[in-house]
Amino acid sequence: MFETINPAPEDSILGLTVAFQKDSNPNKINLGVGVYKDGNGQTPVLATVKEAEERLLRSEATKSYLPIDGLAAYAALSQQIVFGSGHDILAAGRAATVQTPGGTGALRVAADFVRRISPQATVWLSDPTWPNHPNVFASAALQVQTYPYFEAETNSVAFDRMMAALETIPTGDVLLLHACCHNPTGADLSPQQWQAVAAVCAERGVLPLLDFAYQGFGDGLDEDATGVRFVAEQCRELLVAGSYSKNFGLYNERVGALTLVAANSEVAEAAHSHLKICVRTNYSNPPAHGGQIVAEILGDPDLRQRWEAELADMRNRINDMRHLFVETLDELGAGRDFSFIAQQRGMFSFSGLTPEQVQALRERHSVYVVGSGRINVAGMTEANVERLCSAIVDVLK
């Protein structure tokens, strides 16, 4: 059975990490995978995470299974961080959450759930989007289509074209939206644009699925939830796929959450029972450790406050690097306006580099960038930005 198999291509993002690790150049720079690095180029464990782990190590009494949908406290805290505590949706019992292995796990459970209840639904993805999005939905046997999102000429959201496309999405289809820190472009919708998108979803009966992997990396925890909360105001049903990989730095613990909002608590409960079947048939029940860390931190006012400060440090460092990158490119004579990068949010921006320039960066300078030209700003440091910008200026010539 296996002898006819041809090798599959490397993953366009995680495959880059493999190539980066093999590169022996001591000055190599990785702007590929979406992992935060501090000013020393490290991805350390947050101090609040360490503290929560110490507490857990002392108090943990069993390694028995979690329920299919995970820790109840984690689910409740995840809902509060997305919608704000005391939100009407939570008070009315309209939300149900399952703890998932990372944000990708949340997306896959969402995909399996949609396929289960509405197999004919098409999932609409922004063009461009995270390269794994189409694969996740296609693997769940759903149809995938795209809507225009980005204007390369202006480096901003192609809002008119996006809206024109959304007006044609059939009722019952699913619209995937990046809640903040759009991956790969870094170009987000304004609050007014979110209102308009939410209104189209409500009018057309399209199910919004918000990928919320970067909460807190844009402008702040609540600020970044603006889009989700506008959508929740106008749409009776929605799905939110969240991740704590980035904002808690818990990448390898695989900590995510899929939250479903329904018109009332009875519908939410019925839908929740189907989410649990999707989980049970996929990975049975989630791993405990990461979820316990998040619940420990979010549930303790002191730890939570200190975690928010750590998150703000990460966010501020990225935003500072955005400015330094633009200034340094200018000083080194890039001869092109990169100022849009300072306006964008989250880890990523589309640099506008062509696939040939991306390849030249890697071959000539050991600088690793995703083939689409997406750069991870969080991989820049004060120590590497000058070398990085000289390399970019070189390949732009």
Nearer to ligand LMR by Cβ, of 33 and 46: the residue is 33
Catalytic residue among 28, 37, 246, 276: 246
Under the phi-then-psi rule, with left for phi > 0, alpha for psi from -120 to 50, and beta for the rest, what region is 321?
Answer: alpha
CA distance 287 to 285: 7
Active site residue 37: no
SS3 call for 130 = coil
Active site residue 88: no
Which residue number is nearest to ligand LMR in terms of Cβ?
34
Taking the complex as a whole, how short is the minimal distance between the CB of residue 362 and ligand LMR, in angstroms? 16
Beta partners for 99?
A: 257
Count of residues engaged in binding ligand LMR, rule: CB under 6 A: 6
CA distance 46 to 306: 10
Catalytic residue among 69, 112, 173, 211: 211
Catalytic residue among 130, 173, 224, 307: 130
Among 129, 183, 328, 366, binds ligand LMR (CB under 6 A): 183
Nearer to ligand LMR by Cβ, of 128 and 291: the residue is 128
Nearer to ligand LMR by Cβ, of 286 and 346: the residue is 346
Nearer to ligand LMR by Cβ, of 30 and 99: the residue is 30
Nearer to ligand LMR by Cβ, of 13 and 106: the residue is 13
Nearer to ligand LMR by Cβ, of 48 and 183: the residue is 183
Q: Is residue 13 involved in binding ligand LMR (CB under 6 A)? A: yes
Query: Which is nearest to 113 in space by CA: 205, 197, 239?
Result: 239
Contact flags string 114-133 toward ligand LMR, x per CB under 6 A: ----------------x-x-
- Radius of gyration for the chain, computed over Cα atoms and rounded to the nearest angstrom: 21
Q: Is residue 34 involved in binding ligand LMR (CB under 6 A)? A: yes
Taking the complex as a whole, how short is the minimal distance between the CB of residue 94 and ligand LMR, in angstroms? 29
**Paired tokens of 52:** 């929560």
Active site residue 173: no
Output the DSSP codes for 100-116: ESHHHHHHHHHHHHHHH
Taking the complex as a whole, how short is the minimal distance between the CB of residue 346 and ligand LMR, in angstroms? 10
Q: Is residue 259 involved in binding ligand LMR (CB under 6 A)? A: no
Sites for ligand LMR among residues 123-182 (CB under 6 A): 130, 132
Taking the complex as a whole, how short is the minimal distance between the CB of residue 317 and ligand LMR, in angstroms? 18
Preceding omega of 170 cis (within 30 degrees of 0): no
CA distance 30 to 164: 37
**Paired tokens of 315:** 């966010």
64's enclosing H/E stretch is: none
Nearer to ligand LMR by Cβ, of 14 and 117: the residue is 14
Taking the complex as a whole, how short is the minimal distance between the CB of residue 265 and ligand LMR, in angstroms? 33
Beta partners for 238?
A: 261
Number of H helices, E strands in the chain: 16, 13
Among 28, 29, 31, 33, binds ligand LMR (CB under 6 A): 33
Taking the complex as a whole, how short is the minimal distance between the CB of residue 375 and ligand LMR, in angstroms? 11
Which residues in the chain belong to E strands, given as ranges? 29-30, 95-100, 122-127, 143-148, 150-151, 156-157, 174-178, 207-212, 238-243, 256-261, 348-350, 367-368, 374-376
CA distance 119 to 333: 53
Binding site for ligand LMR (CB under 6 A): 13, 33-34, 130, 132, 183
Which residues belong to the active site?
130, 211, 246
